[in-house]
Amino acid sequence: MKVTLLSSTPLGEEVCATAAKTCYSSKEPQEIFESTKARTDIVVPTLEDIIASGHDSVLEHLTMTFAVSGISRVSTHQLVRHRLASYEQQSQRYVDVRKTWENIVVPPTIKDLLDTEWELADNISDEPLKRAIVKYRDGLDELLTILSECNIPSEDLRYFVPQGTSSNIIITMNARELRHFFSLRMCRRAQWEIRELATKMWKICVDKYPTIFKDAGPECMRTKCREGKRSCKHPLTKEELL
C-alpha cells in the first residue's frame, strides 16, 4: 500500500489558530490572520490550548488530501463509513476488472503460505491447498475472459471479482475528522489493513502538522480504552507507532 499527501490547506495551522482567536476577539478575522502570520510563535500555544479545551471545530478549517494505491476493496468499504470526508475511487465500471483483480491484497496470515499473490511457498507441501489455489486463480481468470468475450460489460464482470482486489482512492479529510479516524482505526483491534492505512496517514500528519496531531492516535495513547472487556490490554505508544 502506498500513501501520499497530495495537498493540504496553505498555512493550515495559522488558519486554525485564526479561527480559534476569532471566537474570542473583537478584531476582524483578516486582521487576526495577518498578525498570526507575523507572530508564528503564538500559533503553537494557541492551538495547544484550544485542543486541550475540546474546541475541536476550529480544526475543520484545515483539510488534507491523500492518494492511496494498492488498498483492497475490503478496506475501502470500511473507509467510506467515515462520512465526514470526500472520496474518489477507481471505478470497476470503466477499468477492466481483469487487469485489476490479479493484484489481490493478501492478508499477512495468508502470506505465510504464499510467496507471491498466487504461488505456493516452497516450504508448503500441502497439495490440496496448492490445487485449490491454482483452481481458483485459473478458473476465475478463465470465467472473466469468457464472459468478456461474450460482451459482458465490466460493470457486470465485477460481481465475480474478489473483495481483496487492489484499488486506488483519493481521500480528503479535515483535521478534526482525521483525529477521529486515527482514534478508531489505529487501535490494535482494528482490521489490519485499514490500521496500516491509518498509521501511514498519521505519520504524514504528525510530520506536516506536529502541533495539531501531537496527541492524535489510538484512544489508548491519551485516555482510557473504550473497548472495555474487549480491550487488548496493551496500550500503544507514539514511539512504537513511529
- Would you say the C-alpha torsion 49, 54, 55, 56 has a positive or negative sign? positive
pLDDT score, position 120:
53
Q: What is the pTM of this model?
A: 0.88
Rounded Cα distance between 201 and 219, Å, is 16
Domain count across the chain: 2
Same domain, 120 and 177: no
pLDDT score, position 85:
96
Rounded Cα distance between 142 and 96, Å, is 15
CA terminus-to-terminus distance, the chain: 17
Same domain, 156 and 174: no
Same domain, 146 and 112: yes
* Domain stop point among 160, 182, 204: 160
Point out the catalytic residue in the list 158, 179, 185, 195.
185
pLDDT score, position 123:
54
Classify 224 as helix, strand or coil: coil
pLDDT score, position 229:
63
* Domain stop point among 133, 160, 187: 160
pLDDT score, position 83:
92
pLDDT score, position 233:
67
Same domain, 195 and 235: yes
Classify 77 as helix, strand or coil: helix
Query: How many CB atoms are closer than 10 A to CB 95?
Result: 14
Which CATH number goes with the domain that contains 51? 3.30.1360.170
What is the span of the domain harbouring residue 151?
Answer: 107-160
Q: Is 14 exposed, middle or buried (0-12, 13-18, 19+ CB in 10 A)?
A: buried
Nearest to 69 by CA among 164, 169, 162, 161: 169
Same domain, 127 and 186: no
One digit per residue, the tens of pLDDT, for the chain of length 242 reads 999 999 999 999 999 999 999 999 999 999 999 999 998 899 999 999 999 999 999 999 999 999 999 999 999 999 999 999 999 999 988 888 877 777 788 888 876 666 555 555 555 556 777 778 778 878 888 999 999 999 998 889 999 988 888 899 999 999 999 999 999 999 888 999 999 999 999 999 999 999 999 999 888 777 777 766 667 767 777 777 77
In a domain, 98, yes or no: no
Task: Mark whether 188 is an active-site residue.
Answer: no
pLDDT score, position 115:
56
pLDDT score, position 122:
55
pLDDT score, position 125:
59
Same domain, 127 and 22: no
**All cell numbers assigned to 7:** 495537498
